[in-house]
Structure 1
Amino acid sequence: MGMGSASPTIQNDSKRATFSDIKSLIKGPVLIANVLPVFSGFWLALYFSGSLITEQWPLLILIMLGSTLVMAGALVINNWYDVDIDEIMARTQNRPTVTGKISLKIVLWIGIVLSLAGFILLWFTTWEATLYAFIGWFTYVVLYTMWTKRKYTLNTVIGSISGAVSPLIGWAAIESAFHIVPIMLFAILFIFQMPHTFAIAIKKYEEYKAADVAMLPVVHGFSITKRQIVIYIACLLPLPFYLIQLGAFFITVATILNVGWLIIALRGFFSKDDQKWAHWIFLYSVNYITIIFVLAVVVTLPAFQ
């Protein structure tokens, strides 16, 4: 369905692609957001294993470059497959797959080449890091993009799994990720993505509805979506306490952030402007996850001095 319905205009690749087109193709902001937890996972694995970053520069370069390429490849293939949806949704109508600045055939090859290059680089790290990267790639490209996105509201859960493996990739480059810290970072990332994505779905409700994408607000309405947002944010509350090894300051800040987000979520039941409320949930979510993963690095900095 997705990749076969492009119009002749989209097939036209005579126009020169600009930097903004490339950034749009690899979904720049999404890519950056996924790369930060890879570094945090790597850094914390160094901290807990007693390794020095000065001894691990080659490994850091490999893991960061490899994971970035794999994620970029997955995002590009998503753009290739979703061109028919992107034509309908206002926020995606400037993507080069829609404007025709890059042909769909070339887009697909870019996605494949980026993915393969990333996996080759990751193979020089550890098999476990490569495995987590593959799980993320396969979940996003096949299970999310090609299977659940158009059919089931479960698509958000599936998509969240692919986004949550990033700290495991970073950690596993140093040692096995069967450790409470990367597992909890995975859990935080997974749960965070649910209210984050639901907020976007409320904000872009009309677009998702027009494109017939099975997002929760489109299928079941705003009321259930608001309840789900509150439930998932509430599930974040105990998680910082499993990260006691990161210290009291980390737990305190993370808990304050969780409580603040929960309060904003609860206000949704009394909100008269759902779009404005959803925008606040979205903004909070972006800052929340950035602070959590930057803070996890900052609180362990003294150990490396």
Structure 2
Amino acid sequence: MNKIEVPSPWKSAAEHEQKTPPVIISYFFDIVYLLKGPVLLANVIPVFTGFWLALHFANTSFMEHLAIFFLLLSGSTLVMAGALVINNWYDADIDKIMARTLKRPTVTGNISLKTTLYIGITLTVLGFFLLLITSIESTIYAFIGWFTYVVLYTMWSKRRYTLNTVIGSISGAVTPLIGWAALEPATHMVPIVLFSILFIWQMPHTFAIAMRKCEEYRAAGVAMLPVVHGFNVTKRQTTIYIASLLPLPFYLGELGISFIVIATLLNVTWLALSLFGFLTKNNGKWAYMIFLYSVNYITLLFVLMVLVTLPF
């Protein structure tokens, strides 16, 4: 006699839950990939630091400028998000070739290219509108960053010239100027040095990524330094740029001796790590070490600037 199995509503519900993808989570990760979440966050931190240091040197309180702060943070985040989304829209063809970008919704098809472009333009326009309420100078710096990243880097130099890294670095380096200029003209030594730190830092950081993903960039036809000139040249360039960071903390003496000492130790350690690259044959592992150090380096440095200027 055949056993008749009566369907259980509890069992079918459990099976249904396992088979049905969590739509909300899927949408969330699509947005994170579309906005390049970690990159966006890394660019927001220097905006905050620039604003915070402007408060400190203007000897004014955070609460007095709370409205400006929210407009600044919202506007700059939207502008940068818009630039990143438009980058995804324009690079969809090469993103399909590179393993590191295969999860982007412009590759998977979860978000159409037309929708992506609309999102990028909308975020950009809203961001500039909010920044215009804060200050014209902040808006100008944000536009320089947006135009450099979208037009000069993404659309013009990325696939043609190894100088694409230098050009792209300008867009990330203006972020503390955006924050500072919301309160004060960014002609002070501090925001200029912050710009310099970020500009120089991005070179070895990007070189490390390019070394790790060299073959992917080669297949996609992106003219990164290790693709065009090889690993030895990239290692030399990495060391030169890291060495160029050494004197910069001494121009920030107003942040105190503790900051200068810690920043110098971070620079010396990074330089030693870069020199180790000439002794090792495991280029992939070395590039990964440089990459990890660069991420922690810039985060620690800009958080430290805030910590040493806290009002207590």
What TM-score do the two structures reach when normalised by structure 2? 0.92
State, as a whole percentage, how many aligned pairs show the same letter.
69
Corresponding residue number in structure 1 for 2:13: none
Superposed, which structure 2 residues align to 1:224-303 within 5 Å?
224-302=233-311
Counterpart selection for 1:195 from 200, 204, 207: 204
Shift of 1:273: 0.4
What TM-score do the two structures reach when normalised by structure 1? 0.94
- Aligned partners of 1:205, 1:141: CA distance in 2, in Å? 23
Superposed, which structure 2 residues align to 1:1-305 within 5 Å?
18-302=27-311, 305=312
Q: Secondary structure at the match of 2:184?
A: coil
Q: Which amino acid aligns with 1:265?
A: S
- Aligned partners of 1:246, 1:94: CA distance in 2, in Å? 42
The Cα offsets for residues 199-249 of structure 1, whole Å up to 9 and x where unpaired, read as: 000000110011010000000000000000000000000000000000000
- Aligned partners of 1:200, 1:176: CA distance in 2, in Å? 34
Shift of 1:252: 0.3
- Aligned partners of 1:78, 1:54: CA distance in 2, in Å? 36
Q: Secondary structure at the match of 2:159?
A: coil
Which blocks of at least 5 consecutive residues in structure 2 are unaligned?
Answer: 1-22
Q: Which amino acid aligns with 1:226?
A: K
Corresponding residue number in structure 1 for 2:4: none
RMSD over aligned CA atoms reads 1.0
Q: Which amino acid aligns with 2:181?
A: A
Q: How many residues align?
A: 289
Q: Secondary structure at the match of 1:56?
A: helix
- Aligned partners of 2:164, 2:279: CA distance in 1, in Å? 28
The Cα offsets for residues 20-60 of structure 1, whole Å up to 9 and x where unpaired, read as: 00000000000000000000000000000011101010000
Q: Secondary structure at the match of 1:102?
A: coil
The Cα offsets for residues 117-172 of structure 1, whole Å up to 9 and x where unpaired, read as: 00000000000000000000000000000000000000000110000000000000
- Aligned partners of 2:79, 2:126: CA distance in 1, in Å? 7
- Aligned partners of 1:126, 1:95: CA distance in 2, in Å? 34
Give 1 or 2 for the bigger CA radius of gyration: 2
- Aligned partners of 2:174, 2:128: CA distance in 1, in Å? 15
Q: Which amino acid aligns with 1:62?
A: L
Shift of 1:18: 1.1
The Cα offsets for residues 241-273 of structure 1, whole Å up to 9 and x where unpaired, read as: 000000000000000000000000000001120
Q: Which amino acid aligns with 2:258?
A: F
